[in-house]
Amino acid sequence: MIALNHTGVRLVVFLALQTPWLEAAHSQQPANPAFSQEISRQEAIYWGTGDQAVEGYTVDRSLRDYTNALPTGFDRALANLGPGDRWLDIGAGKGQAILDYFAQDHDPFEAEARERRGMKAQVVAISIEDRRTPLWQSTAASLEANKLQYLYNRRLREYALEDLGKFQIITDVIGGFSYTDNLSQFVEKVLGFLNLNGSFFTLLQDVRSEAGTNRPHYAGSPYLTEITGAGGSEVRVCSWLKSISCVEVTCEFTTGWIPSIEAYRVRKVCNDVTVPALFPLHYIAGTPPERRYHLRNPSPAQTGAAR
């Protein structure tokens, strides 16, 4: 397995090829045959069919990988979960990060973890395919009923609140947040599953940072995820996330990854959440895909941040 560390040259392969999560919202897709064709190509990549088969498709990200890639504080937030809390992992693959969490030697904060051992949160994994291993099955069997769940063959948009309930932590490491063609719908759905004061931890690679000091990783190519506002002005992903009502957002950019990544923590601070709508303009299949959106009616704060 390729190690996920700050000098990992192939982050684009190791991270991007984990259980990608397409959240196609067909009613909002452009009426463009080329767009639909790219969606089909993306599906072919996911299932590894025909000439779209992708070697190196990795679905066993460890909890250490999560901690290294996600924003500062993720490990502390996870260690602080108790038996009455819940964690949802989107695009979990084999669920290795979750298995690490339940392992006897899991110690993000060693002394604290030892005291809390046997008092872990309830965890739900979501994946497109059933990638459970014998280790998953034996771990689940050793725990109390419903402590560890694995859901598959349905996309996030297909789950209702009654199906999943609410969570204190939601994670997405190069899952739906990186692959969806309907980003605003995906984020709205995620925030609907968060408890008040719960946090969504995620990241994007090869995206314009909040400070705007980086360039696209590939010369002559755009960023993988771009948002335009009024008059074609640039709206950075961090700025768009911060414009969502009832959330507090921190954005952490690091050049230690290749390509560089920006990690996000979105904390829900009240229940009247409104996610500014993004209209999909451009989608090119890939790992992850190249996406461009148009922000409808950007706020003054967003247009100011784009300058």
Assigned domain for 292 exists? no
| Residue 60, C-beta contacts closer than 8 angstroms, at least 6 positions apart | 1, 93, 94, 96
Give me the phi and psi of 126, to 5 degrees please: -120, 135
CB 172 within 8 A of CB 263: no
- Please give the Cα distance from 207 to 272 (Å, whole number): 28
Assigned domain for 197 exists? yes
CB 201 within 8 A of CB 212: no
Residue ranges making up the domain that contains 114: 11-220+244-274
Assigned domain for 234 exists? no
pTM for the full predicted model: 0.84
What are the Cα distances from residue 297, in Å, to 28, 207, 276, 291, 294? 17, 22, 8, 19, 9
CB burial class (10 A; 0-12, 13-18, 19+) of residue 111?
A: exposed
Assigned domain for 3 exists? no
Assigned domain for 203 exists? yes
The sign of the dihedral angle between the CA atoms of 152, 157, 163, 169 is: positive
Mean pLDDT in runs of 10 for the chain (307 residues)? 34 36 45 80 67 56 93 94 95 94 70 60 92 94 94 92 97 92 96 98 96 93 96 96 98 90 98 97 90 79 44
- Please give the Cα distance from 116 to 138 (Å, whole number): 21
Assigned domain for 306 exists? no
Domain count, the chain: 1
Assigned domain for 307 exists? no
Side chain identity at 73, as an amino acid letter? G
Residue 34's domain is classified under what CATH number? 3.40.50.150
Assigned domain for 4 exists? no
What are the Cα distances from residue 48, in Å, to 185, 193, 202, 216? 26, 30, 25, 27
CB 193 within 8 A of CB 161: yes
- Please give the Cα distance from 288 to 202 (Å, whole number): 14
